[in-house]
Structure formats: C-alpha cells, structure tokens
Structure 1
Amino acid sequence: MNYNYLFTKLIKCYCGGNYRGKLERKVPSYICSKYSNYGSCTRRKVKEDLLLYYVERFCREQGITFEKNIYFIHEIVDIITVNEEGKTTIKYKNGEEQKIS
C-alpha cells in the first residue's frame, strides 16, 4: 500500500537535507534524508498528524476552509524547517510563521 505524504518536498533540515516520508508503525512521519541515507545527520522525526494539526489551526484563524490533500497543503505552506534542536517552523505563503516544539 502506498501512502501519499502530504508534506512531500516542503520540509527542510538545518543540515541542508530534505525530509522524506516514512511510515513508522503505520504512522506517517518524516525524517531527514541525509540521516536516512548516510547517517550524517541527527534523526529528528516530524509526525504528519502534528503538522496537520497546526496547518488546520492556521486555516481556522485565517478563515480558510481546510482541505486534507497535497494540493491544498502545497498551496498555502511555503516551507517547513527543522533546526538543530528539533524545533519545527511552518512558514506560510502569506508570510506568517508557526513555531512547533
């Protein structure tokens, strides 16, 4: 069974790597490709449900009808970054940011 990762190509690591989707115990998550492929980065996992929660909350605050599909997500999210401490920041195309611990 293939899973359609909603945040594909949107998540960037502090090391310069891209995050890629991975099912872990049937839970969609993302990890750094440099960690996954080479072990040259720290394993910092970001769960898709957490990202969806924050994007949906942002949409509610903005009066936008949330849609759970890759096209909608890519239409409003500019980039998601993960820093060295594992803190995640969602940057939206309207210029706003959300920090996630």
Structure 2
Amino acid sequence: MAHIVAEPCFDCKYTDCVVVCPVDCFYEGAQMLFIHPEECIDCEACVPECPVEAIFHEDNLPDEWKEFVALNAEEAPKCPVITEKKAPLEGPSCNAKK
C-alpha cells in the first residue's frame, strides 16, 4: 500500500511534502502532484507537511476520492520527479490550513 495525493491538491500543488520525502516518490503534474505507489515506503513524513491535507494512506482515502489511487499510479510514471520546493499554484479551490 502507498500514500495517495487526492483532490485537495488540484490547482494548489503545494510542495512542502516533497522536501521531506526520503525516497523522492513525488512527481509533478500540470495541476497537482502524484505519489508513485511502487516507490512510496509509507513513512508518512509527507502527511503532516501538506497544508491542504491532500495526502492519505490508501486505506484511509475518503470514498469520494478513491479514483485518485489509479490516477496517482497512472500519472506518476508520466511526470518528472520533484524534490525541491516550488511556489504553489494557489488556485481558487486552494485553502491552506497552515
């Protein structure tokens, strides 16, 4: 099992999570980040770093976001790895909790 980036990341793309990942399993899409499920070691270091609470363990993913399991698996291999913090998109649906 792996951690999943879900809908709250869409149009926000905060990258606080990527700098704490010990295995560099985050990938950057145009509108959101993805976690490569075969690379994630379930360390949970990224979870408290996400200001929009978009990262969940696959077992704890809310039902309305279950499609993000497949989306992360499909999109991560297509996107470039991201290991450094960047400015967020801060789209209209983005509400940081930090």
- TM-score, scaled to structure 2: 0.28
Bigger Cα Rg: 1
The structure whose RCO (Cα within 8 Å, separation 6+) is larger is: 2
Higher strand share: 1
